Amino acid sequence: MRGIQHHLTDLEARGIRVAAISVDPPEASRNLRAKRGYTYTFLSDPDAAVITRYDLLHLKAGPSEQDVARPAEFLLDPGGTVRWVNLTESYWIRATPEQLLQATNALH
């Protein structure tokens, strides 16, 4: 997430609008954004409706065995069609900003 913030200008220049979605309540997301200095959009999905729709719910994988969202990055076109997906099983493994930029270039 920090890497995304560091490359936000490059991503936005290529038409990428970044949004993070989690099961965390809105106040937890606000606190994380403030603490880490993130400026992109954070969305809260406490009922995991969207997370479940994209098959990203990782049951009992969080601390205290709560359900969390699997790490994933999606690139959607302006019409909302998913054009690229990166899914991992590990919370610590994410697509790099360079991978997102490379995927964006491949779509054009």
Q: Domain residues of the chain, as ranges?
A: 2-103
Q: Quick one: which of 68, 62, 59 has its CA closest to 23?
A: 68
pLDDT at 91: 67
Top CATH class of 2-103 equals alpha beta
pLDDT at 28: 93
Average pLDDT over residues 100-108: 82
pLDDT of 1 > 80? The answer is: no
Predicted TM-score of the model (pTM)? 0.74
**Cα dihedral 86, 2, 99, 84 sign:** positive
The per-residue pLDDT for range 17-36, each reduced to its tens digit, is 888 888 889 999 999 999 99
